[in-house]
Structure 1
Amino acid sequence: MTRAQRTLTIYTQERGAELGDLFGIFFEDLNHAADGGLYAELVQNRSFEFDPIDRAEYHALTAWEKIERGGGKAEINVEDSHPLNPRNLHYVAIDIVSEGGGVGMMNLGFNSGIPAKQGETYLFSVYARRDASFDEPVVVTIEGTDGTVHGEATIVVQSSEWTQYAATITANATDTSSRLVIVTKGKGKLYLDMVSLFPEKTFRNRPNGMREDIAALLADLKPKFMRFPGGCLIHDGSLNPDDRDSMYRWKNTLGDIAQRPARRNNWSYNQTLGLGYYEYFLFCEDIGAKPIPILPGGYDPHHKRIVPIDELQPWIDDALDLIEFANGDPSNEWGAIRAQLGHPEPFGLEYVGIGNEEVGEPFFERYPYFHRAIKEKYPDIKIINSAGPFAAGSEYDRGWKSAKENKSDLVDEHYYQSPEWFLANYNRYDTFKADEPKVFLGEYASWGNTYYNALVEAAFMTGLEKNAHAVGLACYAPMLCNVDYINWKPDMIWFNNHEVYGTANYYVQKLFMHHQGDQLLKIEAYGLDEKQENTMKPINGAFALETDRCSFRFWDMKLVNNDSGEMKELNGLSAELSDTDEDRLGGTSLRTLDLGETDWENYTLSLKAQKISGPKGFNLYFGKRDDNNQLIWDFGGWQNQDSALCSSMNGRTSCLTQSIFNVEPDMEYELTLEVSGRQIRAWINNVLFHDTEDKLPVIEPLYYSASYERSTGDVIVKVVNVQENSVSAQIALADLHKTSLTVEVNEMSDHAPDDENTFASPERVSPKQKEFSTVGCSFHYDFPKHSITVFRVR
């Protein structure tokens, strides 16, 4: 077929679904995304509230060290008998035993230290008091690790009552490993709390603001919305809002930062809440993104904490009060609080989410109470329901059932999968209906930050666009990661204490956000039907068992050929695995066991299993070709709450389907796994738990979408080529009635699949722009191999 016969035709007058607020961002405070990240505070543990409840090795003086100079001696203690306020109980007492050259404390900051930059000004503040009145100053310096002073200020603390002091320090050198040092002389005790150091220059110069370079990268995306503050951290915690480890309660995050209680972050660190709901709303306003707050629904699925339904009203009130806080008139209670904080105008909240990745009946029993109350008082607010953390299975189905019954506006879907899964499920939303709740793809990513990951995500995103009738919102996740505090990867933006870069995935998101358009256009392909099918067809190979810190016995292990009836006994019908702590200490651990292999394409594996001891379950591997390519039945995974079927391809795992299940000790389980081609079904005690297909990707010649932008009148065409070879095609714009076109091209190409951005090469993988003109309303284009091309036709 000649290249002229391959055509993409865009019907510029045939407009379809509105794209609305389709592409946005998601902020969750993991990977130190807030403290030590977007939140510009440079002092770690500023209020001496770090505690083992946050992280086992934390204590009240984490990130602090004692300073004794020139023979000075001091005793450093953390006290709570005369606190700054009831929500900030701990403070440090510096007992000057011998003043010498000065005594005090040094804060180590985050990462390598305090990032001082020559010529920049820093705002120091502290609450302090002394038990004796004299004029000996407190000297505050930014110092290098060798003691070199990069900037200095002094304050004089004379009161025996808590008083806030402030000073400015201008750095005379650049040093990303500095320390904040506080030293004094004299006698008696000096007490300190809320020790803070902010760069004077924050994003939009807001006090208590955002780190400028990270915030600028986010603003540069031009997202339509921002989902916040999580994530699992919103519902993982106790039911009491005053507990240190409570669920995330937005009212705790308002007002004076000294009055905000420290919080255990479920990602195992301390959360100061300095970046609170008011700051989130301001930041959304500053970057032009609609706020989408997510609230707990009275249920912690991690620990099975459940608010009784007759005690649910305060939780519902929190949701209603939040809407009033965001949108209410200053004459109303929470509108007045917003106005007192400095924003009398409403924030224009349109969306609110209840729950995050919820699994289990208790959430779905409680959701309707929130939904009814919000719709009754605020009928225009769009409410987002939850469909769990996986792309399919019983909890996913339960979430969608709840959404349809309650007429939720959107359903929050989450999935992290292999690139192959994203390609195989490119058409995932083709069959979703326009008159049902819309999809909010609130968390998604392929496993990796390489160019190939970004390329595949771009192909998938064209499918999201083409299904805008069903997909309302979508955001890549996670958004931010501090390289020295990694909880999860991949991530869209990586940073340390002084540098930041966007990944290849970031630049794909930026392309789609900058060139989203407002309304879909009909687009048709001719001659582009040469699909590449995966040649690895059947699910066959080796079988194996594996457990982790558990002890199991297995028996009656059989494999039957469903075509011929032939039967094989596996491992002599029985086996045992034991990987307990005692086994590990004694050197007797048996964690994995091979069971043989098969080349059959249609078979049933059955076995019986019993847990002897341990916190969870075991894995049954099948279709195993090597450790990076296999299928997994995860029986009793994630806190012993799941049964899941997963596929690992090239070392990257996708959950195909998941159901709630708990493996109980001493109970006997009869497990049956049926494989036919790539169809998989699994029974537990003769009850069908899983019925799924491990799809293999069928590579399209090109992935594409088109849209119309009202403000400019531009036609936007996105084309993704994931193949190893270039593809030529004619681009025809029908019904445009112009004699010539100006075409702006933004393209990512000429990158190896495993290329990644780094601190040293932050834009190694990023778009290039060019422009050309045409005669008439069509043009020929060679789409390079592994390319993402966005045409903006004027």
Structure 2
Amino acid sequence: MGYWKASCSVLLVCIFVGLCSVHQCSAAEVDAYQTAKLMVNASSGRPIPETLFGIFFEEINHAGAGGIWAELVSNRGFEAGGQNTPSNIAPWSIIGDQSSLTVSTDRSSCFERNKVALRMHVLCDSEGSNICPAGGVGIYNPGFWGMNIEQGKIYKVVLYVRSLGSINVSVSLTSSDGLQILATANIVDSDVSNWTKTEVLLEAKGTNPKSRLQLTTSRKGVIWFDQVSAMPLDTYKGHGFQKELIEMLEDIKPQFIRFPGGCFVEGEWLRNAFRWKESIGPWEERPGHFGDVWMYWTDDGLGYFEFLQLSEDLGARPIWVFNNGISHRDEVDTTTVSPFVQFARGASDSKWGSVRAAMGHPEPFDLKYVAVGNEDCWKKNYRGNYLKFYDAIKRAYPDIKIISNCDGSSHFLDHPADYYDFHIYTSASHLFSMTHQFDHTSRSGPKAFVSEYAVTGKDAGTGSLLAALAEAGFLIGLEKNSDIVEMASYAPLFVNDNDRRWNPDAIVFNSSMHYGTPSYWVQKFFRESSGATLLDANLQTNSSSLVASAITWTNSVDGETYLKIKIVNFGNRHVILEVSVDGLGLNSQLSGSTKTVLTSSNVMDENSFTDPNKMKQLKGNMKLWIVVATYLLSTVLVASTEAGNMDSLAEDQTGRDMIIRSVVPKNDDVVSGAKSTQHIVGINNLCVDVFLELYFHGNVVQLYPCKSDGDVNQQWSLEKDGTIQSKGMCLATNGTSPGSYVFIYNCNEVKASATIWKVQKDGSILNPSSSLVLTSKSGKSGSLLTLETNVYALGQGWRFADVSKPSPKSIVGLLDYCLEFNKNVPKLAKCVESKTEQKWNFYADGSIRVEANTDLCLTSDGNTKGSLVLVVSCSPVSSNQRWTFGDSHGKDYFPILNVNNALVLDVSYFILNLFEIIIWDFNGGANQVWRLS
């Protein structure tokens, strides 16, 4: 249990019906309420399975096609209308009229598994009697209810083209009406008589969430197109997934991904079931299929391989659900056991492992769980088919865990299994009552996998607070029964708001926006539970609407141990909950802990595109007495620290729990071996960033806007050996002369001296072997980092810190007057709290910036005693704009030193204007010490 020691602290939490804001309450108010007590023993508990909470992805609601898969073109292979030609090419449409072109389909494609191609006969020309209209004629694709094209981003368009003559085709991203050209390029070729693959990169010059891709020409002739794709170049870890949506998954720390369904796996009819072999290999050769359960076409660009890759990228265990010869309407007695396990896990020289290797992943995927079918237990052929799959898989891969569709929570299974599926969709009140569903389940035999659960129906709407709170209560029950329940996942995960096939869902999106429903936010409350320790917690209450649990876990980033208490009040009774925690370390203080709540003014409230954060996690400091609303989920977070390391628990603006430490530089010359602190923040509060989140030997490192919630490519640790690492790779230089670039390298594959750094007192990061320091020469987002001679420039100041925006402070000096910005010349003036000219921000680069204009920096006009101090434009190459704090001089007062010249901020006594600000040698006078207010 680490360093939890025998002591006792008490925390009182008041839960009542009424306003849904948080109030302080007095002891007199407490006496009027019904009471309950939660007694937690922090020194006694049992481990929670590392796999407990994960996610279930199903291709439903256009979750994949038009969702997490970044392909912008709908029906890119013209196959959605079926194998018969002429075929329906929707949503492709024509630019021009019948006098200028005709469009049809034929079966002339070069791809054997998808033969349909589009034939465009252009009747007009750039000259002659039938001149093409301005802009040309052709075809366009609006994507999935509009393509979100963003200025400055690059999009890769791939298409296959054939023509009997020369071509001149414009490939463009435009507004929905075609009038605004966002990006364009021409394909000019004199010989495309054979099918030719063409790629173009388009950089958007504007933004439009309802854009389209169009292919146009003004040259007479016949052109065939096939497999037309458009994707943003910047995708999640470079693997084709929409970054914003996958980052929402990353944020809930899923321990597994169950995929690709669901009913999607079965199909309404077997002919439309998902077939993994047709979803691997080059994307152009995948035939796609019509998902007849959810009634839309998928090109299967998001296939078996991509799901395995996504699991790996998220650090989640893949759980593959495969069709076992049964659909909704038909079934077969199958004897075919497909080699899908060999594709995932086989050696790179095996038959199917070699296919995986050819797709760019020679190493096996970590597939250790498979589910035989989906909701098929009652079907005639299920048991017989299941046993064939079970025997064949166990013979070849005995370590793989096999999941049965049959519920084993109330009776023993009549067939072998490692896990059994448990699905529940029901009302809010019923799901909350199922908090004790597994209390009396047998502890022997297969473990439970609650692979689909949610509140549905009128209680849920499209994602209500009421539904989320019932789900939270249910999950607390699963935590408590995690000795028999080893995995659980909410369903469905995603919905494209343009095609709601199911309500509610965890994450709602359209082409350009997304938000989490309250059910999504509930997942964040439980993201630390997997692999944590479930503490003994005894809830004494007469209310059946109150549930609670307590866990501890060690944060892998900061090494601290945390205790979290989760509380759900699902009733309409006023309750005061007294929480006593026994076994906490002597340095752990409940009164300084963080509380997190999920609530609103109405239990049927929902988030929306217009108000996406109406309900989200709200955090604040935990007091001894608090009042919170009923119908509410709340957590209490406590940090335990070792003796002599009394850090305080707080929250940064990104919503992460964090440990706050001193930001005043230490007095020693070099600070090394510091604890991990997620970000390296530099000039203009930009962060050191691994380009495109790609971790390969030799990728560049850039300056980039600091991301929320600690994206891994901005998380760095200063190791005791002097290396600075992100995701196990070292920050290193490729040379020892000024201008040498900084990269990430495999630590053991580069000269050791290139990877050693020292964080110095002045805020610079020194490479000792070159005597040069880490530098951003331009200070602009996207600029690459180099090594340069230390001239104490703004672009050479860094801090290992959180990414919170600086909090403006008043700088109070002589006569208790405040430093004030006044036409580029600072002065002392009577303090006025509301004046932004008297508020200053202390940036990580060492600059002091006036709140009225944060592009202006406090600057010494020279390096000699008596030099004036000005407020001028911040510059990455300026040597006189970095400041630091000296040792304290009396209570709360300290000098402010210029890093370059070591002179201090001084109020001049030698001129008529008493309040002129200069720099001078430090002598300890009252005119040289300052405090922040």
Q: Report the TM-score, using the length of structure 2 for normalisation.
A: 0.60
Is the Cα–Cα contact under 8 Å of residues 729 and 781 in structure 1 kept in the other structure? Answer: no
**Secondary structure class of the residue paired with 1:788:** strand
Q: Provide, for residues 194-251 of structure 1, a one-character-per-residue CA deviation record: whole Å limited to 9, x for no partner.
A: 1111112211233xx1112211111111111111000112122665xxxxx3421212
Q: Which residue of structure 2 aligns with residue 156 of structure 1?
A: 188
Give, in whole Å, the separation in 1 of the partners of 2:144 and 2:169. Answer: 27
Worse-superposed segment, 13-22 or 406-415: 13-22
Are 1:10 and 2:40 counterparts? Answer: yes
Shift of residue 737, structure 1, vs aligned partner: 4.6
Give, in whole Å, the separation in 2 of the partners of 1:119 and 1:306. Answer: 53
Q: Which residue of structure 1 aligns with residue 63 of structure 2?
A: 33
Give, in whole Å, the separation in 1 of the partners of 2:171 and 2:46. Answer: 66
Are 1:466 and 2:480 counterparts? Answer: yes
Q: Which amino acid aligns with 1:718?
A: K
**Secondary structure class of the residue paired with 2:414:** helix
**Secondary structure class of the residue paired with 1:194:** strand
Are 1:719 and 2:563 counterparts? Answer: no
Are 1:322 and 2:340 counterparts? Answer: yes
Which of the pair has more CA radius of gyration?
A: 2
List aligned pairs for 1:452-463, cutoff 5 A: 452-463=466-477
Shift of residue 115, structure 1, vs aligned partner: 1.9
Give, in whole Å, the separation in 2 of the partners of 1:721 and 1:370. Answer: 45
Are 1:145 and 2:177 counterparts? Answer: yes
Q: Which residue of structure 1 aligns with residue 353 of structure 2?
A: 335
List aligned pairs for 1:5-84, cutoff 5 A: 6-51=36-81, 59-68=87-96, 73-80=100-107, 82-84=108-110
Shift of residue 138, structure 1, vs aligned partner: 4.0
Q: 1:105 aligns with which of 139, 149, 155?
A: 139
Change in CA separation of 1:293 and 1:194 when aligned onto 2, cut-off 3 Å: same
Q: Which residue of structure 2 aligns with residue 374 of structure 1?
A: 393
TM superposition outliers: structure 1 runs of 4+ over 4 Å: 1-5, 779-783
Give, in whole Å, the separation in 2 of the partners of 1:124 and 1:753. Answer: 46
Q: Which residue of structure 1 aligns with residue 548 of structure 2?
A: 704
Change in CA separation of 1:381 and 1:453 when aligned onto 2, cut-off 3 Å: same
Give, in whole Å, the separation in 2 of the partners of 1:50 and 1:282. Answer: 26
Q: Which residue of structure 2 aligns with residue 609 of structure 1?
A: none
Shift of residue 346, structure 1, vs aligned partner: 2.4
Q: Provide, for residues 99-153 of structure 1, a one-character-per-residue CA deviation record: whole Å limited to 9, x for no partner.
A: 2232211112211x22222222211110001012x35344434244152212111
Q: Which residue of structure 2 aligns with residue 520 of structure 1?
A: 534
Q: Which residue of structure 1 aligns with residue 441 of structure 2?
A: 432
Give, in whole Å, the separation in 2 of the partners of 1:33 and 1:484. Answer: 11
Are 1:201 and 2:231 counterparts? Answer: no
Consecutive unaligned residues of structure 2, counting only runs of 5 or more, are 1-29, 126-131, 640-933
**Secondary structure class of the residue paired with 2:96:** strand
Is the Cα–Cα contact under 8 Å of residues 9 and 525 in structure 1 kept in the other structure? Answer: yes
Q: Provide, for residues 678-723 of structure 1, a one-character-per-residue CA deviation record: whole Å limited to 9, x for no partner.
A: xxxxxxxxxxxxxxxxxxxxx33x2111223245432222111122
Q: Which amino acid aligns with 2:388?
A: Y
Give, in whole Å, the separation in 1 of the partners of 2:410 and 2:330. Answer: 22
Give, in whole Å, the separation in 1 of the partners of 2:87 and 2:518. Answer: 38
Is the Cα–Cα contact under 8 Å of residues 47 and 531 in structure 2 kept in the other structure? Answer: no
Change in CA separation of 1:83 and 1:347 when aligned onto 2, cut-off 3 Å: same
List aligned pairs for 1:329-728, cutoff 5 A: 329-358=347-376, 359-387=378-406, 396=407, 404-447=413-456, 448=460, 449-516=463-530, 518-526=532-540, 528-529=541-542, 531=543, 699-700=544-545, 702-711=546-555, 712-728=560-576
Q: Provide, for residues 581-602 of structure 1, a one-character-per-residue CA deviation record: whole Å limited to 9, x for no partner.
A: xxxxxxxxxxxxxxxxxxxxxx
Shift of residue 368, structure 1, vs aligned partner: 1.3
Is the Cα–Cα contact under 8 Å of residues 69 and 242 in structure 2 kept in the other structure? Answer: yes
Q: Which residue of structure 2 aligns with residue 255 of structure 1?
A: 281
Change in CA separation of 1:139 and 1:13 when aligned onto 2, cut-off 3 Å: closer
Are 1:769 and 2:619 counterparts? Answer: yes
Q: Provide, for residues 75-117 of structure 1, a one-character-per-residue CA deviation record: whole Å limited to 9, x for no partner.
A: 111011x222111111111112222232211112211x22222
Q: Which amino acid aligns with 2:357?
A: A
Paired residues, number: 587
Q: Provide, for residues 611-636 of structure 1, a one-character-per-residue CA deviation record: whole Å limited to 9, x for no partner.
A: xxxxxxxxxxxxxxxxxxxxxxxxxx
Q: Which amino acid aligns with 1:60?
A: N
Change in CA separation of 1:212 and 1:434 when aligned onto 2, cut-off 3 Å: same
Give, in whole Å, the separation in 2 of the partners of 1:282 and 1:335. Answer: 14
Q: 2:595 aligns with which of 721, 732, 745?
A: 745
Shift of residue 304, structure 1, vs aligned partner: 2.2
**Secondary structure class of the residue paired with 1:98:** coil
Are 1:182 and 2:215 counterparts? Answer: yes
Shift of residue 400, structure 1, vs aligned partner: 7.4
**Secondary structure class of the residue paired with 1:361:** coil
Is the Cα–Cα contact under 8 Å of residues 729 and 782 in structure 1 kept in the other structure? Answer: no
Q: Which amino acid aligns with 2:217?
A: T
Is the Cα–Cα contact under 8 Å of residues 708 and 714 in structure 1 kept in the other structure? Answer: yes
Q: Which residue of structure 1 aligns with residue 823 of structure 2?
A: none
**Secondary structure class of the residue paired with 1:460:** helix
Give, in whole Å, the separation in 2 of the partners of 1:5 and 1:125. Answer: 66
Give, in whole Å, the separation in 1 of the partners of 2:247 and 2:36. Answer: 41
Change in CA separation of 1:750 and 1:491 when aligned onto 2, cut-off 3 Å: closer
Is the Cα–Cα contact under 8 Å of residues 278 and 288 in structure 2 kept in the other structure? Answer: no
Give, in whole Å, the separation in 2 of the partners of 1:188 and 1:277. Answer: 40
Name the structure, 1 or 2, with higher relative contact order (CA <8 Å, separation 6+). 1
Q: Which residue of structure 1 aligns with residue 3 of structure 2?
A: none
Change in CA separation of 1:135 and 1:52 when aligned onto 2, cut-off 3 Å: closer
Is the Cα–Cα contact under 8 Å of residues 730 and 780 in structure 1 kept in the other structure? Answer: no
Are 1:211 and 2:246 counterparts? Answer: no
Percent identity for Structure 1 against Structure 2: 31
Is the Cα–Cα contact under 8 Å of residues 35 and 576 in structure 2 kept in the other structure? Answer: no
Worse-superposed segment, 274-283 or 369-378: 369-378
Q: Provide, for residues 397-425 of structure 1, a one-character-per-residue CA deviation record: whole Å limited to 9, x for no partner.
A: 7x976x73333111111121011211232
Give, in whole Å, the separation in 1 of the partners of 2:176 and 2:431. Answer: 48
Cα RMSD after superposing both structures = 2.5
Give, in whole Å, the separation in 1 of the partners of 2:178 and 2:345. Answer: 52
Give, in whole Å, the separation in 2 of the partners of 1:5 and 1:722. Answer: 15
Q: Which amino acid aligns with 2:112?
A: P
Q: Which amino acid aligns with 2:492?
A: P
Q: Which residue of structure 2 aligns with residue 271 of structure 1?
A: 298
Give, in whole Å, the separation in 1 of the partners of 2:324 and 2:178. Answer: 51
Shift of residue 14, structure 1, vs aligned partner: 2.0
Q: Which amino acid aligns with 2:235?
A: T
Change in CA separation of 1:14 and 1:87 when aligned onto 2, cut-off 3 Å: same
Q: Which residue of structure 1 aligns with residue 253 of structure 2?
A: 222
Is the Cα–Cα contact under 8 Å of residues 138 and 185 in structure 1 kept in the other structure? Answer: no
Give, in whole Å, the separation in 2 of the partners of 1:440 and 1:372. Answer: 21
Is the Cα–Cα contact under 8 Å of residues 727 and 784 in structure 1 kept in the other structure? Answer: no
Shift of residue 377, structure 1, vs aligned partner: 2.0
Shift of residue 59, structure 1, vs aligned partner: 4.8
Q: Which residue of structure 2 aligns with residue 734 of structure 1?
A: 582
Give, in whole Å, the separation in 1 of the partners of 2:231 and 2:534. Answer: 45
**Secondary structure class of the residue paired with 2:54:** strand
Q: Provide, for residues 15-34 of structure 1, a one-character-per-residue CA deviation record: whole Å limited to 9, x for no partner.
A: 23533211111111111111
Q: Which residue of structure 1 aligns with residue 164 of structure 2?
A: 131
Q: Which amino acid aligns with 1:363?
A: Y
Shift of residue 46, structure 1, vs aligned partner: 0.9
Are 1:785 and 2:630 counterparts? Answer: yes
Is the Cα–Cα contact under 8 Å of residues 493 and 503 in structure 1 kept in the other structure? Answer: yes
Is the Cα–Cα contact under 8 Å of residues 354 and 383 in structure 1 kept in the other structure? Answer: yes
Give, in whole Å, the separation in 2 of the partners of 1:483 and 1:135. Answer: 39
Give, in whole Å, the separation in 2 of the partners of 1:493 and 1:430. Answer: 31
